[in-house]
Amino acid sequence: MPKISPFEKHFDRYEEWFVENEYAYQSELDAVKLLMPKFEKGLEVGIGTGRFALPLGIKNGIEPSLQMRKIAIEKGLNVMKE
C-alpha cells in the first residue's frame, strides 16, 4: 500500500507550492520537456494533480491519492487509482 497520507492531507499546499514557486516549476518543466522522448500515448505513474501531465501532453495517469486524483480529473485527465 502506498503511503499517501501526506498527499491526502496537504494536496492544497502541493498546488500552492507551484503557484508560489512559478520559476522553479517552469525550470523543472522545461528540463523534463528536453529529456522526454516523443510519444503518441503516455501514462504518468503518480500523476498527482496533473501539474506536469497537462503541459507535457499526457492525458492518462495513475494516482493513489483520492484528493489529488479528483483535481487531475477536474482538469480533464483520465486518472485511475491503480
30's CB contacts (< 8 A; 6+ apart) are none
pLDDT of residue 2: 65
pLDDT digits (tens, 9 = 90+) for 9-27: 888 898 999 999 999 999 9
Level-2 CATH architecture, domain 5-80? 3-Layer(aba) Sandwich (3.40)
2-8 average pLDDT score: 79
pLDDT digits (tens, 9 = 90+) for 27-76: 999 999 999 998 888 899 999 999 999 999 999 999 999 999 999 999 99
DSSP for 4-62, please give it: -HHHHHSHHHHHHHHHHTHHHHHHHHHHHHHHSPP-SS-EEET-TTSTTHHHHT--EEE
For the whole model, what pTM was predicted? 0.84
Q: Please give the residue that has the higher pLDDT: either 1 or 28.
A: 28
Domain spans in the chain, listed from the N-terminal domain onward: 5-80
